[in-house]
Chain A
Amino acid sequence: AQKVTQVQTEISVVEKEDVTLDCVYETRDTTYYLFWYKQPPSGELVFLIRRNSFDEQNEISGRYSWNFQKSTSSFNFTITASQVVDSAVYFCALSEAQEGMRFGAGTRLTVKP
């Protein structure tokens, strides 16, 4: 069963638009961690954020913000005022006890000038 579902496969926006990447996860554990990673064309996965299951506070880091809602098992990522350099594939991932990290299929974001 798919544990992490990234709703959008591809998104294309024009620079300065806001964009939200949706992630829905599935777990029976009460303790788990959620992550977002960015993979630019160079291929290296870049860590963006980690959130544990007990912390539902939303977080903002510059133009990035994350909305974690346990009630809907979602961990969505918003980029405000997108820039061309934001173009990349973004992965949502779930880490549970006794299992390796499970990644979603990724959302390819293209920001056009």
Chain B
Amino acid sequence: KAGVTQTPRYLIKTRGQQVTLSCSPISGHRSVSWYQQTPGQGLQFLFEYFSETQRNKGNFPGRFSGRQFSNSRSEMNVSTLELGDSALYLCASSAIASTSSTDTQYFGPGTRLTVL
């Protein structure tokens, strides 16, 4: 089975712009979660989608949003980029919603976003 794929792998943007990141889960997986990883804050949970519905959201401003499509692919959008948004954005998929805490999340390689 193919793993979780994320595109693009690298991205450079300037302050004030917006960006959309894409994640394709493992085939058959219906839950997709997004995480932000920075040297200062570590790995932080952004949000989780299951069957096109947001199930959980972390403590991030409204500039961070996401959605999930009927084929379980997910996109994450960050509007009005700030320097502090520079990070590795990781996507993870699991067979069922992680809110049930019964399944393992498998991670993609991440998208490294640099905001200048």
Partner-B contacts on A (CB < 8 A): 31-33, 35, 37, 42-47, 50, 52, 91, 95-106
Contact = CB atoms under 8 A, between A and B. Distances in A.
Contact of B100 (A50, A97, A103): A97
Contacts of A37: 107
A43 B87 CA distance: 12
B108 interface: yes
A42 to B, nearest CB: 7
Interface of B: 33, 35, 42-48, 56, 58, 88, 90, 92, 98-102, 104-110, 112
30 contacts: A32-B101, A33-B101, A33-B102, A37-B107, A42-B109, A43-B110, A44-B107, A44-B110, A45-B92, A47-B104, A47-B105, A47-B107, A52-B102, A91-B43, A96-B101, A99-B45, A100-B46, A100-B47, A100-B48, A100-B58, A100-B98, A101-B33, A101-B35, A101-B98, A103-B42, A103-B43, A103-B44, A104-B42, A105-B42, A106-B42
B98 A95 contact: yes
Contacts of A100: 33, 45-48, 56, 58, 98
Given A100-B46, A102-B45, 19 more contacts: A32-B101, A33-B102, A35-B105, A43-B110, A44-B108, A45-B90, A47-B104, A52-B101, A91-B43, A95-B101, A99-B45, A99-B56, A100-B33, A100-B45, A100-B47, A100-B58, A101-B105, A103-B44, A104-B42
A64 to B, nearest CB: 16
A96 B99 CA distance: 7
